[in-house]
Amino acid sequence: MAALSGGDYRVREMVTLLGESQNLISYHLRLLRDGGLVRATRSSFDGRDSYYHLDLDCCAEMLTGAGAALHPALGLIPTAPQFDSQAPASVLFVCTGNSARSVIAEALLRQRTNGRVEARSAGTRPQPIMHPNAVRVLREEFGIDISGQNPRHLDALADHRFDTVITLCDKAREVCPEFGEGTRWIHWSIPDPSEAGGTDEDTYPAFQATAADIDTRIRYLVPNLTTET
């Protein structure tokens, strides 16, 4: 669970990461899925594979419930993140088209940190324009306007250094280049909402679900980007 709290992994990656057998890891993943603590998504790069993701909201609810059951004074008290103004964190979000997932993540991280984290996004094969539903969901659900923003190619940031690089697309993960030593790599396996099929109106609910998923992940990412002052 601690490993999955930092990003999404395939079973074989967890075997290497944890040094345990595949059968043992698969067994515990099945138990965690049955308990609602872990979710799985089919890889968009290799449909025979799956990525596992820890549902941190569910974990928080269960921990809070367990504390309250033990003693009413025991609960999780959220604290505001502290930022080191002398060394702000820098984060790059990467997907394929840079027209939906990564740009949504960039906008939400910037909003959740009031611009105190340098958030950028790019695509391995950027689309000509932002997806209309990405613009719409940020405007309607979060009050963010990205209508004047254009997709960016990853090559444009080749000389830039980031503290954290987060891939949100299984395909982009396979081709994303390295950004130097000391960069923290995270993968979020998030399906492309534009592939839900149909008109923009038909796929808008998929964009709402994707934005909500990304926002949840951002909320839990922020404390890991802060530096105590």
Q: What is the pLDDT along the chain (229 residues), one digit of tens a residue?
A: 999 988 999 999 999 999 999 999 999 999 999 999 999 999 999 989 999 999 999 998 888 888 888 877 676 555 556 655 555 789 999 999 999 999 999 999 999 999 889 999 999 999 999 999 999 999 999 999 999 999 999 999 988 889 999 999 999 999 998 887 889 999 999 999 998 888 999 999 999 999 999 999 999 999 888 643 3
Per-residue confidence (pLDDT) for residue 76, from 0 to 100: 58
d(CA 107, CA 42): 26
Residue 161 CB coordination number (10 Å) = 13
Q: Output the CATH code of domain 90-225.
A: 3.40.50.2300
198: left (phi over 0), alpha (psi -120 to 50) or beta: left
Whether the model clears a pTM of 0.75, i.e. scores above it, the answer is yes
Structure token digits, residue 216: 């949840």
CATH 1.10.10.10 fits 4-70, yes or no: yes
Closest CA to 184 of 5, 1, 7, 2: 7
d(CA 87, CA 95): 26
Domain parsing of the chain, residue ranges? 4-70, 90-225
Rg (CA), the chain: 18
The Cα-based distances of 170 to 18, 34, 42, 50, 97 in angstroms read 22, 24, 10, 10, 12
Per-residue confidence (pLDDT) for residue 87, from 0 to 100: 57
Contacts of 111 (CB under 8 A, 6+ apart): 142, 144
Q: Specify the amino acid at residue 160.
A: H
Show which residues are catalytic.
95, 169, 176
Closest CA to 119 of 162, 68, 172, 174: 162
d(CA 51, CA 13): 10
4-70 and 90-225, same CATH topology = no
Across the beta sheet with 164-167, the strand order is 118-123, 90-95, 164-167, 184-187
d(CA 111, CA 107): 6
Cα 79 to chain centroid distance, Å, stands at: 21
Residue 23 CB coordination number (10 Å) = 10
d(CA 9, CA 187): 8
